[in-house]
Amino acid sequence: MGHGWEGVVLKLMRGRDFTFTVTGVEQVTEHFRRVHFSDGGLLAATGGAHPTMWVRVWFERAGKPHQRAYTLVDPDPSAGTFSLEFALHDGTASDWARAAQPGDSIDATLQGTEFALPKPAPARLFIIGDAASAPAINSLLDAVPRTPATIWCETTHTSDKKLPFRLDPAHHTLRHVERREAGQHLVEDVKAELPGLLGEDTSDAYIWIACDTATTRALAAYARKELNVPKDRVSALGYWRSS
């Protein structure tokens, strides 16, 4: 399968193509599936992985190429392996993940991923996400496991409360927030709790936000404009669009 005009654009932007092969699958919850891969040389070519590193995976929809971004889970450069985790819903990528079996292969493009914690390293983390961003949240917690973190996870399904976040009770606090009013309930919940947790001095804090696009924009603007958190201390990326 070709990658269409998007693939051409990514090539012009120095995107690098790889083919991943499925080595195993796990049904983590009713609505969350983990697929294990051999990496097709990706990790060797990039010299390893960084926290929240993601790739654009190509699927076919109605005979046309269709790409979605997924975070690498537990990348192992020496073995050339990693996993991807799929929050299952109605859609082409979810359909592929439900049917994936060892030996299946899929194309991917590496372009656009970058991430680095600010310096000096933050002393406190405030993380706002949902099932779609759970893999990235875990990779961030793995990168700084002893940094105190408060996590808000928006839940769509009851099973989302069983997502395998890598929490250390000594350092991490997880808050589940039911998705209501197209994300506005999460916005209001964070606005009610974050100022008291953050305090007046925001210089040692770091806020990471990855929800639906509208929610992410609202919370990022709130952190920067109303809480006066410096721009380099707020990372915000809309992971999906609410229909």
Q: How far is CA 16 from its chain centroid?
A: 20
pLDDT of residue 63: 87
| Contact criterion met (CB below 8 Å) for 48 and 77 | yes
Would you say residue 242 lies in a domain?
A: no
Residues 164, 66 within the same domain:
no
Would you say residue 136 lies in a domain?
A: yes
Would you say residue 241 lies in a domain?
A: no
pLDDT of residue 12: 59
Within the chain, where are the H helices?
4-12, 42-46, 92-99, 134-143, 184-198, 213-221
Q: How many domains does the chain have?
A: 2
Last residue of a domain, one of 110, 144, 159: 110
Which of 238, 205, 201, 202 minimizes the C-alpha distance to 219?
Answer: 238
Last residue of a domain, one of 80, 110, 140: 110
CATH (domain of 161): 3.40.50.80
Would you say residue 129 lies in a domain?
A: yes
State the residue range of the domain holding 17.
4-110
pLDDT of residue 206: 97
How far apart (Å, rounded) are the C-alpha atoms in residues 134 and 106?
22
Residues 80, 179 within the same domain:
no
Residues 73, 131 within the same domain:
no
Q: How is residue 109 written in tokens?
A: 């493009």
Last residue of a domain, one of 53, 79, 110: 110
Q: What is the pLDDT along the chain (243 residues), one digit of tens a residue?
A: 567 766 666 665 577 999 999 999 999 999 999 999 999 999 999 988 999 999 999 999 888 998 999 999 999 999 999 999 999 999 999 999 999 999 999 999 998 777 888 888 899 999 999 999 999 999 999 999 999 999 999 999 999 999 999 999 999 999 999 999 989 999 999 999 999 999 999 999 999 999 999 999 999 999 999 999 999 999 999 987 875
pLDDT of residue 10: 65
pTM of the model: 0.90
Q: How many CA atoms lie within 13 A of 108 on its CB side?
A: 28
